[in-house]
A and B are shown apart, each in its own frame.
Chain A
Amino acid sequence: MAIYTSGVIFAGVDTADKDCWKLESYIKRGGYSALDKILNSGMTQEQIIAELKSSGLRGRGGAGFPTGLKWSFMPRALDGQKYIVCNSDEGEPGTFKDKDILEFNPHSLIEGMIIAGFTIGASVGYNYIHGEIFEVYERFEEALAEAKKAGYLGKNILNKNFDFDLFAHHGYGAYICGEETALLESLEGKKGQPRFKPPFPASFGLYGKPTTINNTESLAAVPFIINDGGQAFQDKGIINSGGTKLFSVSGHVNRPGNYEVPLGMPFAKLLELAGGMRDGKKIKAVIPGGSSAPVLPGDVMMQCDMDYDSIAKAGSMLGSGAVIIMNEDVCMVKALERLAYFYHEESCGQCTPCREGTGWLYEIIHRIEHGEGRLGDLELLDNIGNQMAGRTICALADAAVFPVRSFTKHFRHEFEYHIEHKKCLVNHKWC
């Protein structure tokens, strides 16, 4: 697994060293010094939040919500149980960065969560880990045991008057549990069906208590921000896109893998880091932020920078930072058919527009792909999409509609060709 790093979460992590995840290695890299700084210098909750705000850190789970602001919403002075929950349920197709954090640098997340707990006034945290990476879950439990033994977790941490406990919880195969309120339901031992918002988790979260939920990468960046200061993090990126970001590059490149690079890096540079296009083929299309983000034509992408604003201006989203790269041999109808199948499979079934709509989207794209498309099918897809997006409890319906709208917009001629000639425009093969 290639991890190119320019220095926040993976700074100094030698992924070839099989012990790089252990506490001893983490401490050698300066680990737990941020926690030490907070507890020994008497840094207040307000000061930590201010530092996070100045860092420009935005949630790395997909929505890009400012982390400092999210933490400030917690009723931290309120008595009673509060929770910090980490979302390591990484299931957005194309995304595989959180897994590498858990596998190679789990203590950065543990330290980030302890600091989060301190800041929002929570004495208990949970990390919800994607079920499919079970070996990583087991490793995380080992890392927790190390931290507990060394006195970073438990009662009177570092002999200060601060208690914090952290536990791992695993999923067992449901994409929807990546949605934060579905995740909370699942953590409570229920089906992962999203809750209606409001109330938001900051007032009614896990077991009905105030809860903050953040993505793994957001929390793992916290120790750096405390150690080096918010400004140092912000300076690594650009305005409105502070810091570095992990990009999971997959598809037709020579070196798929995770690349931790400054936000604002030109896409062309990222492609180069990933070894360029496999077999010297031409780039046809890129999904820049996980399968739920709109697809962009390759030539548009080549003009973009990897930051929130540049990608949004081009009509897509930076999302989770999963960059899926497709070459000229890919049939866009077939590619979309596979994604539509995924959303249909993973809809939790709670809201009618999503449960029924994802089925219809898949069925229609399937018939176009199989030479049975009808005139009017593209309009029908449009209509169905309009009745789904924004009309459900969570954003899975929108996530299913974005690819359909963008594929049929940018590659419309391929869909029309399929319907008219009952076959592919390109000589498609999967790899």
Chain B
Amino acid sequence: MLSQDSLKQIDKELTKYPPEQNRSAIMAALRIAQVEHGWLSNELIKYVANYLNIPPVQALEVATFYSMYNIEPVGKYKLVVCTNLPCALSGGVNAANYLKNKLGINFGETTSDGKYTLKEGECMGVCGDAPVIIVNNHSLCSHMSIEAIEKKLMELQ
């Protein structure tokens, strides 16, 4: 279910931990699998667990505990906006409302063309650069004024 490249990345993660502690690599392995498939189906979670030689339930438990794993399909671009207090004081809530209106969806929803999923985020540790939006988990965009959001949406086609 995973490409040679993804498996190679997982192998590299495994070298960080003692040989009998494969389980430690589960967080990175699920992340790598998610990057390739967009989300983690039960089959994929099981496949990753088998690859690490750990019980599937241990992988499932991690996939469901941590909020950045997508355990359901998401749009091509998952946008997570931080609305926690420090960000809210500098436009975080406004940015979220703007996105809701513009895309016509609420938090937790995906546009009907499958392009965007919008989520509410908790503190990302970049409150000084509010408003902040994370695109597909790994690309953090700061100072997201209305103009900056418009520009970003144009880029994300």
Residues of A within 8 A of B (CB): 1-2, 81, 90-96, 98-99, 126, 130-135, 167-175, 186-192, 207, 248-252, 256-258, 291, 322, 324-326, 330, 335, 338-339, 342, 345-346, 430-431
Contact = CB atoms under 8 A, between A and B. Distances in A.
Given A251-B89, A291-B85, A207 B27 contact: no
Interface residues of B, number: 49
Given A133-B140, A172-B68, A173-B68, A324 B122 contact: no
B125 A99 contact: yes
B11 interface: no
Interface in B93-128: 93-94, 121-128
B24 interface: yes
Nearest to B30: A172
Contacts, number: 166
A320 B30 CA distance: 30
- Indicate the member of B17, B62, B140 with the most A CB atoms within 10 Å: B17
Contact of B89 (A130, A250, A346): A250
Interface of B: 16-18, 21-28, 30-31, 54, 58, 61-62, 65-69, 83-94, 121-130, 134, 137-140
Contacts of B124: 130, 132-133
Contacts of B121: 132
A250 B86 contact: yes
B128 A249 contact: yes
A338 B83 contact: yes
A273 B42 CA distance: 52
A173 B66 contact: yes
B126 A99 contact: yes
Contact of A190 (B61, B128, B140): B61
15 contacts: A2-B128, A95-B127, A96-B127, A131-B137, A134-B140, A167-B17, A173-B68, A174-B66, A190-B62, A191-B61, A250-B86, A256-B130, A326-B89, A430-B93, A431-B89
B34 to A, nearest CB: 9
